[in-house]
Chains A and B, each alone.
Chain A
Amino acid sequence: EVQLVESGGGLVQPGGSLRLSCAASGFTFSSYWMHWVRQAPGKGLVWVSRINSDGSSTSYADSVKGRFTISRDNAKNTLYLQMNSLRAEDTAVYYCARDLSLRWHFDYWGQGTLVTVSS
């Protein structure tokens, strides 16, 4: 069974940093692209970032470019999102999601982890 379990969320002050993790199991993690998608409270889904299967290629939404870094450790079956210079507007539930066959579709999602940026 495919499982994605996010962790690392919490309360952080504006300008602070946080690293999210996503532990994957039930599939060959190293064969799949992975994504982060976020959802502000009461709002819609917003794509954040993508990493290819070996970590050599990444993409970011303009709103996080230069502040967030996606990475992965295929030996540990874990996806990461390093978030720096956090702003109030980064407050959201962050989901990791698996890419369906390099098609920019998300076939499995984690349960999400809440990041709150507030003083």
Chain B
Amino acid sequence: QSALTQPASVSGSPGQSITISCTGTSSDVGSYNLVSWYQQHPGKAPKLMIYEVSKRPSGVSNRFSGSKSGNTASLTISGLQAEDEADYYCCSYAGSSTPVVFGGGTKLTVL
């Protein structure tokens, strides 16, 4: 199972909105509403930001939102803040043989 495809980097200014795409296939993203997004600051463990495509865990800012269309999922961060600068990974369930695939990660820079 190939990794999901994410842009290597995105950037935005404070207060702006950015969107990170995550492209999979009909065997993973396109087949299941089990897409999640993780934020990882340097040297730290990942943190769950979005699950089941668009749900936010308790404590995660409502500036973070998720969506999906066909084989592509997206993470949108509105009102960019300096602390949003981090790596972001998408993840999808992919069926019983290789159940989980991650994207390659996207480095978000807040200018």
Q: Hey, which bits of chain A sit against chain B, CB under 8 A?
A: 35, 37, 44-47, 50, 59, 61-62, 95, 100, 103-112
Contacts and interface: CB of A to CB of B under 8 A. Distances in A.
Given A37-B46, A45-B46, A107-B57, 17 more contacts: A44-B102, A44-B105, A45-B91, A47-B100, A50-B99, A59-B96, A61-B98, A95-B45, A103-B93, A104-B36, A105-B34, A105-B51, A106-B36, A106-B48, A106-B91, A107-B48, A111-B45
Interface in B14-58: 34, 36, 38, 40, 45-48, 51-52, 57
B102 A109 contact: no
Nearest to B36: A105
Contacts of A109: 45-47
Contacts of B57: 100, 107
Interface of B: 3, 34, 36, 38, 40, 45-48, 51-52, 57, 89, 91, 93, 96, 98-105
22 contacts: A37-B46, A44-B103, A44-B104, A44-B105, A45-B38, A45-B89, A46-B102, A59-B99, A61-B98, A95-B46, A100-B57, A103-B34, A103-B52, A104-B36, A104-B99, A105-B36, A105-B52, A105-B91, A106-B36, A109-B45, A109-B46, A112-B45
